[in-house]
């Protein structure tokens, strides 16, 4: 996974006004319950997703597709892979936070079955903005 770090950090920096540092990604790679999925296209790092499972709860920390590769279904494929893997690892619910104004991401999450379950006021910096809290139930009774 570490061989993808340069590409991931570049995508991160191009995708977010308040990007994670390289060190933050390294910390998550070292964490026992986290997993990083990388999507490669034509030998290039095209996107990634990072999530974490803690007992029955899973959290999507980060997902991004490089600008040149967007609207081709890669974001959906990454998210579906995350959901399937979290389910296999025993998670019953996955949640995430997303900037309220991030229409592409909110649409992606809704299309995958996530619903808004709360709001965190002024959660983000640069610019200050509310986060929508979204979740999805992963188990079927
Ligand atoms: C959000 C993101 C990962 C989507 O990746 P993507 O590969 O372009 O998404 P997909 O092509 O798989 O699209 C899947 C669905 O998401 C929604 N969607 C994706 N981009 C959209 C856009 N620009 N506007 C509206 N809906 C969009 C649509 O419902 C789409 O389904 P459709 O193509 O059948 O209409 C991508 O825009 C991105 O990297 N954004 C910057 C990083 C980011 O904001 N990440 C989320 C952090 S919480």
Q: What three-state secondary structure class fits 114?
A: coil
State how many domains the chain has.
1
Average pLDDT along the chain: 95
pLDDT above 80: residue 44 = yes
pLDDT above 80: residue 1 = no
Ligand 1 atom, smallest distance to 109 CA: 16
What is the residue range of 51's domain?
2-137
Ligand 1 centroid – CA 80 distance (Å): 13
Q: Residue 2's pLDDT band (boundaries 50, 70, 90)?
A: confident
At 67-100, the pLDDT tens digits run 999 999 999 999 999 999 999 999 999 999 999 9
Q: What is the DSSP string of 48-87?
A: EEEEEEETTEEEEEEEEE-GGGTTSSHHHHHHHHHHHHHH
Ligand 1 centroid – CA 111 distance (Å): 10
Note whether 62 and 49 are within 8 A (CB): yes
Which residues are marked as active site? 97, 109
Ligand 1 centroid – CA 98 distance (Å): 13
Any idea what the CATH number is for the domain that residue 109 is in? Answer: 3.40.630.30
């Amino acid at each position: 996974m570490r061989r993808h770090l340069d590409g991931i950090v570049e995508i991160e920096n191009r995708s977010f006004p308040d990007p994670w540092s390289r060190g933050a990604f390294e910390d998550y790679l070292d964490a026992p319950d986290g997993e990083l999925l990388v999507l490669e296209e034509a030998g290039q790092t095209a996107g990634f997703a990072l999530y974490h499972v803690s007992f029955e709860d899973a959290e999507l920390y980060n997902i991004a597709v490089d600008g040149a590769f967007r609207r081709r279904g890669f974001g959906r494929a990454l998210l579906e892979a995350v959901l399937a893997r979290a389910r296999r690892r025993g998670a019953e619910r996955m949640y995430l936070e997303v900037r309220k104004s991030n229409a592409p991401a909110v649409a992606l999450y809704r299309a995958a079955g996530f619903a808004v379950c709360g709001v965190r006021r002024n959660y983000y910096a640069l610019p200050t903005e509310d986060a929508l809290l979204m979740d999805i139930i992963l188990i079927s009774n």
